Structure 1
C-alpha cells in the first residue's frame, strides 16, 4: 500500500468524519493508500494582513476576492506547502495536490494534481469571476502553466478541464486523465415517488454567475401558465428578489443538511441555468435525490446532465428556452419522473467517489513506486 499526503484548501479537518468535496477524495482513496497526512497551506495572520493591504479595492467583495486569488498568495502558499512537505518527506511516497491554487511539483518527489477548473476556462466563459488585474492574470497563468507542466500526473473532474489543460496550457495529453467526481448526497433507498408538486429548486451561493437573472425572467413566464408553481431559492446570502414576489421562496444559506435534503425531496425538479460553473457538484446531488435537472450546455455540465435522458439543457442566457423547459417538466409529472429516475440510476452506476478513487489509484501507485 502506497503512502499519500494531501494538500488542499479545506483547512483543519479530519477527512474521515468531516464533510467537504476535497475530503471526499481522501475517503475514496483510503482503501487503496495509507493517507499519512493532509493539510492546507494557510497564510499566517500577519501575512494575510499584508496581503489584504496590498490587495485593496474600494468594493469589499472585490477586495476579498483579490486578496484570496492573486500571484502573491499562489507563491506564498506554495512556499508554505513545500516547507511542510520537505519536513515530512520520509513519511510519504506521493503527494496529491487538490486544485491549482498553489504548486508543490518539481521538487524531487512525485506530485499529482486534481483539478475542477482552469483559469483559462474562467477567462473564456466568465472573466468577471476573476478579480485580478490584467498583469496579475498574466502572471497567474504563467504560474499555473508551470505547475501543470511540473506535475507528474494531472487528474481532472471533467473532459472539459482535461482539454483545457492540454489545449490552453500545452500539457502532453498522456499526463492528463479525466476521472470525474462523486455525489455528496447518498442515494435514498426507496427513491423519489412524487413529481406533481410544481416546485423548482435552485441551490447555489452565487446567484448571478449561476444564471439567477435569467431564471427570474423565465419564472415570470412560467407563472403566467402555472399560477401555483413555486420556485425555491437556496444559497445566496444577499436577497435580490423583493419579499412577496409571487411564486418565489427565498431561503438564503441553508447550513442544516437535513433541511437541505428535505428541500430536495420536496421539489419536482432542480434548476441551475449557470452562465459559468466549471463543475457543479449540486447537479449530481440533485440527481442522487431523483430530481430531473435543468441546466445550461457549457463546460462540464453536458458531462453530468444528458439532455433528454436525465434532464434538459438550454442555451446560456435564454429565458424563453428555460421557461419552456420548466413548463414542460412541471406540467408533466410522468416526464419529470422518467428523467429523475434516470438521473438517480446514472449516479448509482457511474458517479461515485469510490469510482474516482479506483480511477486515480493506478496512476498514484505508479508514481509512488518511482519514489
Structure 2
C-alpha cells in the first residue's frame, strides 16, 4: 500500500498528535507499506488558508497513492484544496482527527470562524480515524453526517513502565511530587495549576516537563504567577526530555497534573497511569474516557483552581487514598490497548478504505 501523509512541519514534532502519527507511520513501514510525507510549512492560520490557492498541493496529494492521510491540524490548508483534488480521479482521503480547533476555549467569534473552516474541510474527507469517542461525536455533530471511521485509542506503552514499582512505599515519601507533562501553552493549564498550588498547604514540588519555546510570553506569565505567590522555588523546570528521562520522572512522581482546558484524548494521562500516577485532569474533552473521577484520578471543571487545589490537598494529606488511586491507575492501564494493537487496527481500516470505489 502506498500512503501519502499531509502534516505541518516535521513528523518529529513533539506533541501527542504527532506521536500518534509517528506510531502509525512506523507500523505501516514495518508492514512493508510506503509512506510519503507531504510536509507543509508552519505559518499563521491566515497564511495556511492561502495554501488552498496552490495548484501544486492537489497534484502532490494525487501522486499515485492508494490512500491519502491528512492530519486534521492541517485543515486550513486543505479545506478548499481537497475540493479541487476531488474534481477528478483521486485516492480516498482519510482525516486523522485528534481534536477540533473549534473545541478549544477562545472568544466565540473566533470559534464561529474556525467551525466554518473545519466543517468545510471535514466534509471533503471520505473516512476518519478518531482518537476518542468524544472526537468522533464532535466531528459528526459539526458535519451533520457520519462517514466510515475507526476510533483507535492511543497506546500508553511508549515509555515502558518499570517492572517493579512499590506504589505504597512511594505514596508515603516526601515531599509530595506533582508532575506536569506537555508543551507549556495556555491550553494545557499550567497557570491554573500554579494558582491552585498557591492554595495548597504542606511540602510539595512541581516538576514541569515540556517545551518552553512554543509560547515564551506565556511561560514568563506562569513564572511570574509562581513568583508572586511565593512558590517559584518549588517549581522544577526540566524542558523537553528524552523518553528514558521522562520515564524516570514518572516513576518518581506521585500524581500527574495536567488541567487542560481541552484534550481530544490526553495520551500523557494514560502513560502516567502505567507508572501508577493518578491523573488530575478536567471535565472538558475526552479526559473522562481515561480518568474516572475519584477512581484513578480526579476531574475538575477547567479553570476551577479551588476544586483543583482541594483535590491536590486531599492526596497530599491522605497517602492511603493516594496509594488506592495509584493502584487503580495501574489496573486501568492494563486494560488499555498497546500501540501495536492500535496501529494494526488503523492499518486494517486503511486497507479496507483503499480497496473501496473512489469517494467511498
Query: Shared fold (TM-score greater than 0.5)?
Result: yes
State whether structure 2 residue 1 is matched by structure 1 residue 21: no
Partner of 1:175: 148
Gap runs ≥5 in structure 1: 49-66
2: CA distance, partners of 1:350 / 1:305: 12
Structure 1 contact 42–77 (Cα < 8 Å) conserved? no
1: CA distance, partners of 2:99 / 2:54: 19
2: CA distance, partners of 1:13 / 1:217: 32
What displacement does 1:36 show? 0.8
1:105-129 CA distances to partner (integer Å, 9 max, x unpaired)?
Answer: 635211211111113312xxx116x
1:143-292 correspondence runs (5 A): 143-170=117-144, 172-183=145-156, 184-191=158-165, 193=167, 194-197=170-173, 198-223=176-201, 226=202, 228-235=203-210, 237=212, 238-239=219-220, 240=223, 241-242=226-227, 245=231, 248-292=234-278
Q: Structure 1 residues 188, 266: CA separation in 2 closer, same or farther (over 3 Å shift)?
A: same
2: CA distance, partners of 1:180 / 1:77: 35
What displacement does 1:78 show? 7.3
Count of paired positions: 328
Q: Structure 1 residues 329, 255: CA separation in 2 closer, same or farther (over 3 Å shift)?
A: same
Partner of 2:345: 359
Partner of 2:37: 39
DSSP 3-state at the match of 1:232: strand
DSSP 3-state at the match of 1:205: coil
Structure 1 contact 187–348 (Cα < 8 Å) conserved? no
What displacement does 1:267 show? 0.8
DSSP 3-state at the match of 1:70: helix
Structure 2 contact 72–97 (Cα < 8 Å) conserved? yes
Partner of 2:292: 306
Structure 1 contact 233–248 (Cα < 8 Å) conserved? no
What displacement does 1:21 show? 3.5
State whether structure 2 residue 319 is matched by structure 1 residue 333: yes
What displacement does 1:80 show? 4.7
Partner of 1:85: 61
1: CA distance, partners of 2:322 / 2:55: 51
Partner of 2:100: 118
1:89-104 correspondence runs (5 A): 89=64, 92-101=65-74, 102-103=77-78, 104=82
**Cα RMSD over matched residues?**
3.1
Q: Structure 1 residues 73, 242: CA separation in 2 closer, same or farther (over 3 Å shift)?
A: same
What displacement does 1:252 show? 4.8
1:324-362 CA distances to partner (integer Å, 9 max, x unpaired)?
Answer: 211222233333233223323333321422232233234
Partner of 1:11: 10
1:191-247 CA distances to partner (integer Å, 9 max, x unpaired)?
Answer: 453222311112222353322333223212222xx2x22222333623423297266
Partner of 1:70: 46
1:262-306 CA distances to partner (integer Å, 9 max, x unpaired)?
Answer: 221111111112223333322122112221111111111111212
Q: Structure 1 residues 177, 3: CA separation in 2 closer, same or farther (over 3 Å shift)?
A: same
What displacement does 1:149 show? 1.8
DSSP 3-state at the match of 2:39: coil
State whether structure 2 residue 105 is matched by structure 1 residue 109: no
Structure 1 contact 209–274 (Cα < 8 Å) conserved? yes
Structure 2 contact 209–241 (Cα < 8 Å) conserved? no
1: CA distance, partners of 2:34 / 2:50: 24
Q: Structure 1 residues 276, 348: CA separation in 2 closer, same or farther (over 3 Å shift)?
A: same
Structure 1 contact 26–35 (Cα < 8 Å) conserved? no
Q: Structure 1 residues 236, 361: CA separation in 2 closer, same or farther (over 3 Å shift)?
A: closer
What displacement does 1:77 show? 9.2
State whether structure 2 residue 345 is matched by structure 1 residue 347: no
Gap runs ≥5 in structure 2: 213-218
